[in-house]
Structure 1
Amino acid sequence: MLALAALLPVLASLSTANAWASDNHTCALTKPIYSCENTTAIVDTCCSPVQGFVLTTQFWDTYTGLESEGSVLPAEAWTIHGLWPDRCDGSYGQYCDLDRQYDPSPSPNTTTGTKDGTPVPAWEGGDVITPLLQKYGKWDLLAYMQKYWKSQGSPDWIFWQHEFSKHATCFSTYDVGNYGTPDCYGSLYENTTEASMIDFLESVIKAQVQYPTYEWLADAGVIPSNRTGYAISQLQDTLADASGAVPYLGCSGPTKQILTEVWYYAHSLGRPQESILKPIDQTTKSNCNATQPIWYYERSKGSELY
């Protein structure tokens, strides 16, 4: 029998080998590449996203529908929609890890959006994000989300959990080892799912602050108005000049004249967690009316925080 002193190096070697197999994701040791620009297979999918078209998306809502409960919109700011991974060909996945499914109302309700896709079961466990951020003392992050990441017609946490479940789980850089994927967090964290959730929430904010849509438009004289409409070309050109690429603008209404959202496309240098984003022109053409004025409406009375 080996003496304990002789056995310790052997155990250490085995431990190192086991850790190497699952925890070898120190991305600082990996030369970063821009997503969707690699000519060879990605060496470590924890360090570069497989779905590498990164979309930073925002809403322009005029009310929340929950003003009576104190839910109002931030003054002079668009609100957060999310951070999305598209494949390099413009297609995308959704609800890619059902073990991290916390969406009470999955939309769509299958992983493919078609009836023959894998069903996405509704989450019935309530709010997990708010207590998670409180557990780790992320009070400033929670306060920022409560102000700028607003839901319409439902509590904010439902929207947050929808975005995490539908989109974050399709970024390979947030994988936690489920369904045969690498564990990007390893044994450094007690709970890798919690780690991936906090990591994603922080990444959303880090990307969003790079795109001050309200400020960019206001600097060009484009402000919310119930009396003056704008040409779609003026809106799009203003945001393209400011951001570095042509974004997607979304409009609602029967004639698609009510401005409601913007999507900024980018390639990510390394992990989207670092938010080093190269602006790329939209791959989805704006649905806004090209011949009629676009209405960038003022917020409803009592719906904005001053």
Structure 2
Amino acid sequence: MAPASLRSLFESAGRFLTQIPFPLLNTSPRPISDVGPVYYEPLSGAPSCPLDGPISCHNSTPVAGDDSCCFVYPGGRILLTQFWDQKVHAGGAEEDWTLHGLWPDLCDGTYDQFCHMTPRFNNITAVLEHHGQHELLQFMNRFWLASSGPNSRLWEHEFNKHATCINTLAPACYGDVLYSPGIEVVDYFTRASALFRTLDTYYALEKAGIVPHSRRHYPLVDIQTALEAYSGGRVVLRCGGRGNILHEAWYVYFVRGSLQTGEFVPAKDLGREGKAGNCAPWVKYLPKRSTGGGGDL
């Protein structure tokens, strides 16, 4: 029997990745903007933030003191990045787009990396197992995949490069009593995986009549329009080859509140981030080959 696609996972009633209550997920074919805020109840003592707090990159005055743990800064433009890999993964399906990362870009479209706002970890699998996140690990081993070497190598790279630049994951935001090393790892990977589950890129394109084909070229504007209508926000597209092979989709968000418990707000404009797209006006969306690897670092 062929492995279930991401869409079939959306349609499975009552399934959650962990024992933690997950955010409201997009379990029907409609834009995320119609589904509502993507919330998450963390394991830890992450801050409880006001529902009417400022949205990242939209606040004209500094946020200080305890309130800084309810405002993602300076990397307030959040990118959920997906890859269309060349090969079907072991245990995967031909319809699978894979999760690459959750990146906190600065509000001007640039980004920091390998910061010191949260500790670095080189044992992501062990940390998630320690906190009982076995179903989350199972999901990540299906959809968050490295092109070579163990998946944990990619997870460590993504956390240490990107999550360490997210200020609300700092130990101080959890409090001395409730903080336990690795809680920020659980929160980062849980939120990224849950947001990914709301974004079925294959289905959004299929719904618009855009399906993998070895010879057909599609207008880039049609792909962009389909994904932005589905997600409710802006999407950056990246291509391989000579800019004519669709390879990546970056969904752009801001956050109201902390990354741990806040609402992901679809971005209505790209700003400088729009320049990251590199695709030609017409692109191929190639079928996957039958076996092989995962996303690049």
Give the TM-score range, shorter chain: 0.7 to 0.9
2:21 alignment counterpart: none
More contact order relative to length (CA 8 Å, sep ≥ 6): 2
Q: How far apart, CA to CA, are the structure 1 residues paired with 2:51 and 2:266?
A: 23
Shift of 1:298: 0.9
CA contact (8 A) 1:59 1:78 kept: yes
Query: CA 1:31 to 1:275, structure 2 compared with 1: closer, same or farther past 3 Å?
Result: closer
Shift of 1:162: 0.5
SS of corresponding position for 2:96: coil
Task: Give the TM-score, by structure 1 length.
Answer: 0.73
Shift of 1:225: 1.4
Opposite residue 106 of structure 2, the aligned amino acid is R
1:63 alignment counterpart: 87
SS of corresponding position for 1:217: helix
**Aligned counterpart for 1:244 among listed residues 210, 229, 232:** 232
CA contact (8 A) 1:59 1:80 kept: yes
Q: How far apart, CA to CA, are the structure 2 residues paired with 1:152 and 1:25?
A: 33
Q: How far apart, CA to CA, are the structure 2 residues paired with 1:209 and 1:275?
A: 17
**Aligned counterpart for 1:46 among listed residues 48, 61, 69:** 69
Q: How far apart, CA to CA, are the structure 2 residues paired with 1:133 and 1:25?
A: 17
Q: How far apart, CA to CA, are the structure 1 residues paired with 2:46 and 2:284?
A: 47
Specify every segment of 5 or more residues in structure 2 that has no aligned partner in the other structure, as ranges: 1-44
**Aligned counterpart for 2:279 among listed residues 277, 285, 288:** 288
CA contact (8 A) 1:95 1:170 kept: yes
RMSD: 2.4
CA displacement, residues 68-90 of structure 1 (integer Å, 9 cap, x when unaligned): xxx45444221001111111122
Q: How far apart, CA to CA, are the structure 2 residues paired with 1:139 and 1:26?
A: 25
**Aligned counterpart for 1:33 among listed residues 21, 36, 54:** 54
1:114 alignment counterpart: none
Q: How far apart, CA to CA, are the structure 2 residues paired with 1:130 and 1:198?
A: 10
2:247 alignment counterpart: 260
Instruction: Choose 1 or 2 for highest CA Rg.
Output: 1
Q: How far apart, CA to CA, are the structure 1 residues paired with 2:117 and 2:174?
A: 18
Task: Give the TM-score, by structure 2 length.
Answer: 0.75
Percent sequence identity over aligned pairs: 33
Shift of 1:269: 1.1
Of 91-100 and 255-264, deviating more is 91-100
Q: How far apart, CA to CA, are the structure 1 residues paired with 2:156 and 2:93?
A: 21
Shift of 1:288: 0.2
Which runs of structure 2 are paired with 1:68-79 in the superposition (5 Å)?
Answer: 71=90, 73-79=92-98
**Aligned counterpart for 1:219 among listed residues 194, 207, 210:** 207
2:19 alignment counterpart: none
| Greater per-residue helix proportion | 1
Shift of 1:99: 7.6
Q: How far apart, CA to CA, are the structure 1 residues paired with 2:51 and 2:233?
A: 28
2:168 alignment counterpart: 173
CA contact (8 A) 1:73 1:150 kept: no
2:190 alignment counterpart: 202
For these two proteins, the number of residue pairs brought into alignment is 243
Matched, 1:273 2:260: yes
2:175 alignment counterpart: 186
2:28 alignment counterpart: none
